[in-house]
Structure 1
Amino acid sequence: MAIPLRNTIYDKVKEVGSLTDVELYRSLTSDGLIIPEDKYNKLLLDLEILGLISVAWITKDERRIEAIVIKEEVDKIDEQNKEMMEKDYEASFPGFEK
């Protein structure tokens, strides 16, 4: 089963964090993936629409591609509630002592 090009491109960008479109294209070519320019641009656009990467123009002919990392915010109150529920559940068994 072949891995879709979109996943391959995203994995490369995520691995490095940020690179230019030229560097990414060279990296893909060195891996044996020859992608026409229009398809390459479409794949980058798809990934940007999905919110996985950010593409910004650096110069007239070069773009900066960055992986977007979503940090999951931990709610302290939810954590406390979860701990209390676990303790209450464990305490509900007869003969359980901690």
Structure 2
Amino acid sequence: MTIPIRNTVFDKIKEAGSLTDVELYKILTKEGFAITEARFNKILLDLEILGLIKVSWITKDERRIEVFLEEIEVDEVDEQNKEMMEKDYEASFPGFEK
């Protein structure tokens, strides 16, 4: 079973963290992945739509590609509620002392 080219492209971007589309295309070509420019752009678009990468223009002919890291916001009230529910659950067992 082969790995889809989209996964390979994402792995290369993730390894580098941030690179240009020209650099990425050279890396893929060097490793033996012969893809057309249209297919390359479609893969980048798909990854951006999925929320995995961020693509921004640097110059007229060059784009910056970065891994998009979503920050997970922790709600303190939800955390406190979860802790209280766990304590209430544990306390509901007879003979349990903490």
The two structures have a TM-score, normalised by structure 2, of 0.90
- Greater CA drift, 29-38 or 84-93: 29-38
Amino acid paired to 2:28: L
Q: Kindly indicate whether residue 57 of structure 2 is the aligned counterpart of residue 35 of structure 1.
A: no
Amino acid paired to 2:15: E
Question: Structure 2: which 5+ runs fail to align?
Answer: none
Question: Structure 1: which 5+ runs fail to align?
Answer: none
Q: Distance in 1 between matches of 2:8 and 2:61?
A: 23
Query: Per-residue CA shift, 1:42-69, capped at 9, x if unaligned?
Result: 1111112222211112122211111111
The two structures have a TM-score, normalised by structure 1, of 0.90
Mapping of residues 1-98 of structure 1, within 5 Å: 1-98=1-98
Query: What RMSD in Å do the two structures reach over aligned CA positions?
Result: 1.3
User: SS state of the match for residue 66, structure 2?
Assistant: strand
Amino acid paired to 1:12: K
Q: Distance in 1 between matches of 2:30 and 2:88?
A: 57
Instruction: Percent identity, please.
Output: 72
Query: Per-residue CA shift, 1:50-89, capped at 9, x if unaligned?
Result: 2221111212221111111101100000000101111111
Q: How far apart are 1:15 and its partner, in Å?
A: 2.4
Moved over 6 A (4+): none
| Equivalent residues, number | 98
